[in-house]
Amino acid sequence: MGRINKRALVGRLQRIGQASRADLAKSLGLSQPTAGKIADELLRMDVLEEVEEDAAAHRAGDARNRVGRPGRILRLSRRRTRFLAMELGVNETNLAAVPVGAAPEDRWTVQMQTPASADGWVRELKEAAMRLPHKEFWGVLVSVPGIVDELGSRVLFSPNLHWTEAADLPALIQKVWSAPVALVQEERALALGYQCVDSREEDFLLVDFGEGVGGAAIVSGRPFTGALPLSGELGHTRVPGNRRKCGCGAIGCIETLVSVRGLLRSFAQAQRSAPHTWDQLAMTIEAQGIPDWLEETLEQAGVVISGALNVLGLRRVILSGALTELPPVVTENMSQAILRGAMWARFGEVLVETAPRRRTAGLVAVGIDRIVLPMEPGVRSDGHAAAGPFPGRAAAGWLSYDE
């Protein structure tokens, strides 16, 4: 129960940002002494930190005149970097050293090209490590594309990054940093990051557009997970009339049309010219509106997304990634396509919103869940037995892999 209560308290602060002990006790249904004891333990672990109430209110733009001594407010610790967040992308690998109280939006500090082999990736990681001011971490948290067995720490299939399928990514990373490694399917990381800052606490389907197209759903307050480590692969839904070959081996996947590469290919074909840039596409849409080829592509993508809503029983969609960087008329057009296909829109309201990527926040949520406060304290993130519970080592300031 103590571990469950710790996880609940941390989860509450992830959502609301900061609160007093009394407010946390009330919202969690705990007695104040129990909530205070849990908070003190998390403070000793450096998971939480205290700030003065007046200072916290001033930073939040809600300073008020108070009489007497300022109270103490709790929030996730921002004092020290504790995790290394990593985005393993098709073209780039991004890294950032982050605290437990990570910023709500991504702020990558080191970028490198993603090579075409495991050995090349390790070499690049070693060079990137020299550019990071921090060398020791509680854990390395990695966002990975494709179909990922997170519990088994392996990539089963990656249509756009095939070399990862045969690679032991945790072992490769531990050649550079001696720390536990947690792999997270990239769309799930994005959905968890959005959930951390979502004050509405309502289930949703997040769809991200980039080199591929993927989705992840939050259902009943938790990431949707089926019997197989396969969910949210919206980009690999075949659509009529599409003859493009996809990296997954199929013909006609929607991501060959609505990914960055797919949109630029269609743009060049429509202009009957050399490949155009993303900025040129945006400027053309701004000046001329939605061309016919793009309207058809957005309609097809909307059909796929609305189909997922109908299956999952959701009424809320979060769009993120490259598509949201284009003029607003693009996402407005996509929203209308989703509404036309969503069953709930026939008699209720379907909400389509846009949001920035919050990958690091989602990765840190996984780090807390799997490494700092796992439900099974005797099991490491790689599935092997740990030598002891995390709290006893956290006070030393670093959790090493071999401890």
Query: Which are the contacts of 350, defined by CB distance < 8 A and separation ≥ 6?
Result: 309, 315, 316, 317, 338, 339, 342, 344
Which residue type occupies 2? G
Do the Cβ atoms of 169 and 144 come closer than 8 Å? Answer: yes
pLDDT (tens digit, 9 = 90+) per residue, 327-346?
999 999 999 999 999 999 99
Identify the residue whose tokens are 């008329």: 329
In this structure, the number of other CB atoms found within 10 A of the CB of residue 166 comes to 9
Query: Which are the contacts of 267, defined by CB distance < 8 A and separation ≥ 6?
Result: 276, 280, 281, 284, 293
Query: Measured between alpha carbons, how far is 140 from 82 in angstroms, rounded to an integer?
Result: 9
Identify the residue whose tokens are 């300031």: 397
Q: Where does the pLDDT of residue 228 fall: very low under 50, low under 70, confident under 90, or very high at 90 and above?
A: confident
Query: pLDDT at residue 118 above 80?
Result: yes
DSSP assignment of 332-375, as one string? Answer: HHHHHHHHHH-GGGGTS--EEEE----HHHHHHHHHIIIIIS-S
Distance of CA 133 to the CA centre of its chain: 24
pLDDT of 42 reads 96
- Start and end residues for every CATH 3.30.420.40 domain found in the chain: 83-189+359-392, 198-354
In this structure, the number of other CB atoms found within 10 A of the CB of residue 317 comes to 26
- What's the burial of 320, exposed, middle or buried (CB within 10 Å: 0-12/13-18/19+)? buried
pLDDT of 276 reads 81
The length of the chain is 403
Query: Which are the contacts of 67, defined by CB distance < 8 A and separation ≥ 6?
Result: none
Rounded average pLDDT over 156-178: 95
The mean of the pLDDT values for the chain is: 88
pLDDT of 55 reads 52
List 143's β-bridge partners, or say none.
87, 184
CATH node for 2-76: 1.10.10.10
Choose among 323, 350, 305, 20: nearest CA to 203.
350
Query: pLDDT at residue 321 above 70?
Result: yes
pLDDT (tens digit, 9 = 90+) per residue, 290-317?
999 999 999 999 999 999 999 999 999 9
Query: pLDDT at residue 373 above 70?
Result: yes
pLDDT of 58 reads 41
Query: Measured between alpha carbons, how far is 275 from 292 in angstroms, rounded to an integer?
Result: 18
- Start and end residues for every CATH 1.10.10.10 domain found in the chain: 2-76
pLDDT (tens digit, 9 = 90+) per residue, 41-93?
999 999 999 998 755 554 444 444 444 445 689 999 999 999 999 999 999 99
Identify the residue whose tokens are 């602060």: 13
Q: 198-354 architecture in CATH?
A: 2-Layer Sandwich (3.30)
Query: Measured between alpha carbons, how far is 6 from 368 in angstroms, rounded to an integer?
Result: 11
Do the Cβ atoms of 180 and 371 come closer than 8 Å? Answer: yes
Q: What is the 3-state secondary structure (H, E, C) of 152-172?
A: CCEEEECCCCHHHHHCCHHHH
Topology, domain 83-189+359-392: Nucleotidyltransferase; domain 5 (3.30.420)
Half-sphere exposure of 288 (CA within 13 A, CB side): 11
Query: Measured between alpha carbons, how far is 360 from 264 in angstroms, rounded to an integer?
Result: 28
Helix axes 186-197, 359-367, angle to 10 degrees: 90
- Which SS3 state, helix, strand or coil, does residue 271 take? helix
Which residue type occupies 155? V
pLDDT (tens digit, 9 = 90+) per residue, 352-370?
999 999 999 999 999 999 9
- Which SS3 state, helix, strand or coil, does residue 215 take? strand
What predicted TM-score, i.e. pTM, was given to this entire model? Answer: 0.87
